[in-house]
Amino acid sequence: MTTQQKQSTRRRVRRGAAAVVLAAVLGGLAAPAALAAPIAASTATAGGSERSAERSAAARGALLAFTPLDRLSRADVAAQLSSFGMDSSTVRHGIAAYRLTYATVDPQGRPTTATGLLVLPEQGPRRLDLVSDTHGTLATRDDAPSGGAGFNRITPYLHASAGRAVAAPDYLGLGGGPGSHPYMDTRSSVTASVDMLKASRTAAGRLGRTTTRDVYATGFSQGGQVAMALGRELSRPGSGFRLRGLAPIAGPYDLLGSELPGITDGRVSPRSAVFYLSYFLTAQNRLHPLYKDPAEVFRAPYAQAVEGLFDGNHSEEDIVAALPATPQELLTPAWAENIRDPRGALRTALEANDGSCDWKPAAPVRLYAGSADTDVPIANARACADDLARRGVRATLVDQGPDADHFTSAIRSAPQAARWFDSLR
């Protein structure tokens, strides 16, 4: 990776909390044709009433199609991790990566489909534990783990190379999934993640591997919050899985008490705040009506363009270029006050997506964060640890240091999480 590419990667991650990089960073590997498996390749493509009926009838988590994407040697995996400054000492295997298409439900509980990335270790044990690795904020559908080579494949490759099967959901509306992404809708992110685990189990079996019931959950940024909520779902009786460890990284677990106050008082950088607020408010308006006209929330000239920017097709650079530099320039006075002191429908939406740490895990928990994070302040992790402590759970909070911004927190924490998962076997 060139110095320019590294700097570009760092800017994109800080700005969008998504850890997105250009496909060229990882060599621009093309995806082969769909795998000739006992699942018809046509079921992975949209269109046709017969295929739509099949999808509607499919059980949640049913595997509809899978496609090989990538195969890397142990040395290649280590080299890619090192190119991002990531510790590669846990790499023990090469990897094979596949794009899965599977049945799930949308935020209203209606049948839909989603895609995700399954990564398996090469020449490892036939029987594998699972890692759920949930990604951070993405506004561009092709930046999802199964969408293209980039940073959002790096941590799945890391965990698979350590000897576990990795299920990395794209979430709804990203990757090859239909519709818009319901950003920060915790419930649908969890259902998509659970169903990705089910589909991954089926796909692994078709590829000659067996997965256990044991799941280790991790994720970065938005994915850290999803990982905590997923852990609760996997811990419910009858889930079919057994949670073995939780290692979320830099997640916004406390929107009301930490993240929004950080936007107001400047702990969240202004450009990141503009990106998050624009994405969150437009996405949540489709689920919890916040406004009838964007002009109620956003100042001119942004009101007429902001909803269209988050259609999944605009690049992060295009979105940032089309938005102002500060929340004060973005929001109307009434909505600037609503962000400072949430009320009404906004407060309802925030409360619906808070509480991911409001339960008692039986599995051990490590929370990773960085003191210099200006996207998701470390106050979120501290609030999560406090919530868990009130329920009798002592979670270890790993602070990656006073120089650890959002991107650095991910780079340092992911290998540590992989090593910690090794210790829990």
Q: What is the rounded distance in angstroms from the CA atom of residue 374 to the CA atom of residue 371?
A: 9
Q: What angle do CA 131, 134, 137 make, to 5 degrees?
A: 165
Provide the 10 A C-beta neighbour count for residue 60: 15
Q: What is the rounded distance in angstroms from the CA atom of residue 216 to the CA atom of residue 182?
A: 25
**Ranges of CATH 1.10.260.160 domains, the chain:** 255-353
**Residue-level pLDDT at 189:** 99
Q: What is the rounded distance in angstroms from the CA atom of residue 289 to the CA atom of residue 195?
A: 27
Q: Cα–chain-centroid distance for residue 277? A: 18
Whether the CB-CB separation of 243 and 234 falls below 8 Å is answered with yes
Q: What angle do CA 202, 203, 208 make, to 5 degrees?
A: 100
Q: SS3 for 386?
A: helix
Query: Which DSSP symbol is given to 68?
Result: E
Q: SS3 for 244?
A: strand
**Residue-level pLDDT at 50:** 37
Beta carbons within 8 Å of 114's beta carbon, 6+ residues apart: 101, 102, 104, 169, 170, 171, 172, 175, 177, 192, 195, 196
**Residue-level pLDDT at 149:** 79
Q: What is the rounded distance in angstroms from the CA atom of residue 398 to the CA atom of residue 400?
A: 6
Q: How many Å is the Cα radius of gyration of the chain?
A: 20
Query: Which DSSP symbol is given to 114?
Result: E
Picking from 146, 152, 245, 244, the residue whose alpha carbon sits closest to that of residue 203 is: 146
Picking from 133, 135, 98, the residue whose alpha carbon sits closest to that of residue 21 is: 135
**Residue-level pLDDT at 193:** 99
Given this structure, which CATH class describes domain 255-353? mainly alpha
Whether the CB-CB separation of 184 and 249 falls below 8 Å is answered with no
Name residues of the chain where pLDDT drops below 70. Answer: 1-57
**Residue-level pLDDT at 57:** 58
Beta carbons within 8 Å of 326's beta carbon, 6+ residues apart: 270, 271, 273, 274
Q: What is the rounded distance in angstroms from the CA atom of residue 325 to the CA atom of residue 167?
A: 36
Q: SS3 for 89?
A: coil
Picking from 269, 270, 264, the residue whose alpha carbon sits closest to that of residue 340 is: 264
Whether the CB-CB separation of 368 and 246 falls below 8 Å is answered with no
Q: Cα–chain-centroid distance for residue 194? A: 13
Residues 362, 363, 367, 368: what is their CA dihedral angle, to the nearest 10 degrees? -170
Total length of the chain: 425
Residue 248, both tokens? 């979320």
Q: What is the rounded distance in angstroms from the CA atom of residue 98 to the CA atom of residue 65?
A: 10
Q: What is the rounded distance in angstroms from the CA atom of residue 224 to the CA atom of residue 115?
A: 19
Q: SS3 for 17?
A: coil
- Measured between alpha carbons, how far is residue 23 from residues 147, 152, 420 in Å? 10, 10, 29
Q: What is the rounded distance in angstroms from the CA atom of residue 152 to the CA atom of residue 368?
A: 18
Is the pTM for the entire model greater than 0.75?
Answer: yes
**Ranges of CATH 3.40.50.1820 domains, the chain:** 3-253+358-423
Helices (H), 18-59: 49-57
CATH superfamily of 3-253+358-423: Alpha/Beta hydrolase fold, catalytic domain (3.40.50.1820)
